[in-house]
Amino acid sequence: MKHIVYPFAFLLVLLSSCDSYFDINQDPSNPQVAEGYALLPPIFSQMVRGDAWDARYVGQYVQYWGWVSSGNNWDRHGFAPGSDACGEKWRSHYWSIGTNIALIINDGTEKNKWDYVGAAKAIRAWSWQSTTDLHGEMILKQSWEPNRYVFDYDTQKDVYAEVVKLSNEALADFDKAGYSPSLSRGDIVYRGDVSRWKKFIFANLARNAHHLSNKSGYSPDKVIELVDKSFASNADNFMVPHAGTNTGDGNFYGPLRNNMGSFVQSSYIISLLDGTTFKGVRDPRLPIMFTASPDNVFRGVAPASGDPNNIAGRTNRIPNLWGALGVVPTTGKWIFSNNAPHAILIYPELQFIKAEAAFRKGDRNLAYTAFRTGLSAAMDFVGVSAANRDTYLASAAVPKNGTELTLSDIMLQKYIALYGQGALETWVDMRRFNYNPDIYLGISFPTSLYPDNSGKFVHRVRPRYNSEYVWNLASLRAIGADLPDYHTKPLWFSQP
């Protein structure tokens, strides 16, 4: 009897340990699970990557800069068919930020690291917000579902609601009781300071609420309340650092990575800074942000016209954004240098949001206070000396009180404050105002727009080509995204 039982018992033991025998399907040379502190730093870089890569093109839409030669498709409110240009935020949102966020949330939830979970959700909420503001309809409900290869699109309204939901969850996560904070170990932006993360979440919610300014349900009070809970000063800015030593860790806009060589400052931004628009007062930010031609005159390119004097030796040749004439220097300037941090969201913008909200509400005094605070902070941010800043604030360029303040003042100063890395947010503003030249004083548009526009201005960017147009075309057809003028169709947020 014993001789029969023993082999069976042995077999049973063998079979029960079978599962662990096969549990070797995790790659020992590349981790497949990691802790939050190892996953967070690359996510910051990908946030920057999406914004920086796409802001090149959006910067042309808003006329921050233009292509050095004339007739460029993006200058003309068009796009590059069959290419992934301006599809980098799509890629970051779904892949390089997207799936890694889920890993941080899972890891944090398991190990009670609620600060990581909160930070992860905050980033994802920010990513939904800024990506939908670029593209409109996105894949929301079916996103990141395994074993699926056809993805339906959801409306922008759904995405906006998701932003609010995620933000609230993140705030609640930060407030959970009894966890030991460890966020500082991976957080190269706020060094684990949870209060700043919460401010960032409110900043994002402020954008979310404020973008609906054309809708009847828009609540200025709500917006003001959110702004007040967000950044308190430039010290709270969400800045992602760059080491700047090699092409892997340098600023995308810097000379080392050499991506901005064909872009040149626009005539519009120059007109705002050299006194043309603002009653002849020269903005002290002008020499810091831009470089004059050899004849000491600041110039920019007219929309879609390029620089006709882009020939060596011409004294009216416009320098590139790094301050050099036609060559790539070793160091750039301002946000165009190798180790300049990238600004994801800054305090001045929030003050201008508050100013606009108060203005719409009718509270001119509050609007004026916020306006002046924002303008002052913006000049500090660029690095203007306190003396020059105060001189400018006292000059004729700046309204003296709430009565003199116009919506155009607010939007133009916001336009300058967001120059470069804030192009995506500026574009939201311009689309809310439908490119109104009464707000954007002095602006002119290309005479020959991109052919497929049928004369209309651009209002959105098509989803990334090699992700959606190649592999998900049926879903695009269902929302009309395959039509040639789809990029001119206004987004939900700017509609009443």
Partner 1 sequence: MKGFLLFTLLCAQAGLSAQARQLKGNVTDADDGTPMIGVTVLVVGAGSGTVTDLEGNYSLEVSTGQVLRFSYTGYRPREVKLANETVLDMQLNPEATALGEIVVTALGIKEEKKKLAYSIQEVKGEALQNTGRDNFIVSLQGRVAGLSMTPTSGQAGASVAVQLRGPSSIDGNNQPLFVVDGLPIDNRTFNQGALVSDQPNRANDYQNRAGDINPADIESITVLKGPEAAALYGIDASSGAIIITTKKGTAGKGKISYDNLFRSENLYRFPQYSNEYTRGFNGSFDPTTSSFFGPKLPANTPTFDNIGAFFRDGFTQTHNLGFEGGTPALSYRLSSTYTDQKGVVPTNDFNRISVRLSATAKISDKLSTSSSINFVNSNTTAPQRGANGYLISLLSWPFYDDASIYLNSDGTRRQLIQSSSEQDNPLFNVYANKNSTRNKRTIGNFSLLYDPLRWLNITGRIGIDAYSTIGNTLLHPESIYGIAGRGVIESYSENSLLLNGNVLATAKKSFGDFKATLTFGGSLDDRNYEVTSIRGEKMYIPDYNSINNTDPTTQRNKLTITRQRLLSLLGTFDIGYKDLLFFNIRGRNDWSSTLPEVNRSFFYPSLGLSFIFTELPLFANSPVISYGKLRATLSQTGKDAPPYKILPALTPQTTTGGGFAFGFFGGNPNLKPERTEGYEFGTELKLFKSRVGIDFAYFKNTRFDQIVSQRLSYGTGFIFGLVNGGTFSNQGFEVQLALTPIQKKSVEWNLLVNFTTFTTSVKNLPADQAEFYNSDTWLFGNARASAFVADLQRFFPSVNLDYNQRGMGSATAIGGYSYLRNQKGEILINPSNGLPVINTNFLPIGDRNPQFTVGLTNEFKFGNFSLSFLLDIRKGGDVFNGTERFLFQRGLSTKLQDRSQPYLFNGVLRDGRENSENPTRNTIQVTPQTRSDFFSAAPESDFVEKDINWIRLRDVTVQYNLPSSLLKGSKLFKSARIFLTGTDLWLLTNYTGADPNVNGNSATTRGVGAFGFDFGTISLPRTISGGIRVTL
Q: Using CB under 8 A, list all residues that contact partner 1.
A: 18-19, 21-34, 37-46, 90-91, 94-96, 98-100, 102-103, 139, 142-151, 186, 188, 240-243, 246, 248-249, 464, 466-468, 470-472
For residue 91, give the nearest of 47, 147, 148 by alpha carbon: 47
CA 490/CA 460 separation, integer angstroms? 7
Q: Nearest distance from residue 13's CB to partner 1, in Å?
A: 15
Widest distance between CA atoms in the chain = 107
- Nearer Cβ to partner 1, position 25 or 216? 25
Query: With respect to partner 1, which residue has the nearer C-beta, 10 or 95?
Result: 95
Dist. CA 34–CA 100, nearest whole Å: 10
Nearer to partner 1, 44 or 174 (CB): 44
Closest to partner 1 by CB, 44 or 371: 44
- In the complex, least distance from residue 323 CB atom to partner 1, rounded to whole angstroms: 24
Closest by Cα among 86, 62, 75 to 453:
75
Encoded amino acid at 142, one letter:
Q
Instruction: Considering the complex, state which of residue 238 and residue 359 has its C-beta at the smaller distance from partner 1.
Output: 238
CB of 18 to partner 1, least distance (A): 7
Residue 374 CB, nearest approach to partner 1 (Å): 29
How many other CB atoms are there within 10 angstroms of residue 269's CB atom? Answer: 23
In angstroms, what is the minimal distance from the CB of 464 to partner 1? 7
Q: Which is nearer to partner 1, 162 or 429 (CB)?
A: 162
Cα three-residue angle 94-97-98, rounded to 5 degrees? 40
- CB-nearer residue toward partner 1: 257 or 354: 257
Angle at CA 86, nearest 5°, toward 464 and 210? 100
Question: Which residues have a Cβ under 8 Å from the Cβ of 308 and sit 6 or more positions away?
Answer: 70
**Hey, what are 21's tokens?**
């025998």
Question: Measuring CA to CA, how many Å separate 195 from each of 136, 232, 440?
Answer: 31, 11, 36
Q: What is the DSSP string of 68-125?
A: SSTT-TTTTT---TTS-TT-HHHHIIIIITHHHHHHHHHHHHHHT-HHHHHHHHHHHH
Instruction: Show the DSSP H helices in 247-363 as ranges.
Output: 267-273, 285-289, 347-361
| Radius of gyration for the chain, computed over Cα atoms and rounded to the nearest angstrom | 25
Measured from the Cβ of residue 448, the count of other Cβ atoms closer than 10 Å reads: 10
- Identify which of residues 186 and 446 has a Cβ nearer to partner 1 in the complex: 186
Distance CA 139, CA 143 (A): 6
CB closer to partner 1, 146 vs 217: 146
Instruction: Report d(CA 303, CA 305) in Å as an integer.
Output: 5
Specify whether the CB–CB gap between 211 and 427 falls below 8 A.
Answer: no
Q: Which long-range contacts (CB under 8 A, 24 or more apart) does 451-455 make?
A: 451/78, 452/78, 452/484, 452/485, 452/487, 453/77, 453/78, 453/485, 453/487, 453/488, 454/485, 454/488
Cβ-based nearer residue to partner 1, 389 or 464: 464
CB closer to partner 1 out of 54 and 409: 54
| Identity of the residue, 91 or 121, whose beta carbon is nearer to partner 1 in the bound complex | 91
CB of 242 to partner 1, least distance (A): 5
CB 236 within 8 A of CB 199: yes
Residue placing its CB nearer to partner 1 in the complex, 6 or 144? 144
Provide the minimum distance between the beta carbon of 90 and partner 1 in the complex, in angstroms, as a whole number.
6
Q: How far is the CB of 243 from partner 1 (least distance, A)?
A: 5
Least distance CB 154 / partner 1 (angstroms): 11
What 3-state class would DSSP assign to 301?
Answer: strand
Q: How far is the CB of 23 from partner 1 (least distance, A)?
A: 7
Q: Do 110 and 434 form a contact (C-beta atoms < 8 A)?
A: no
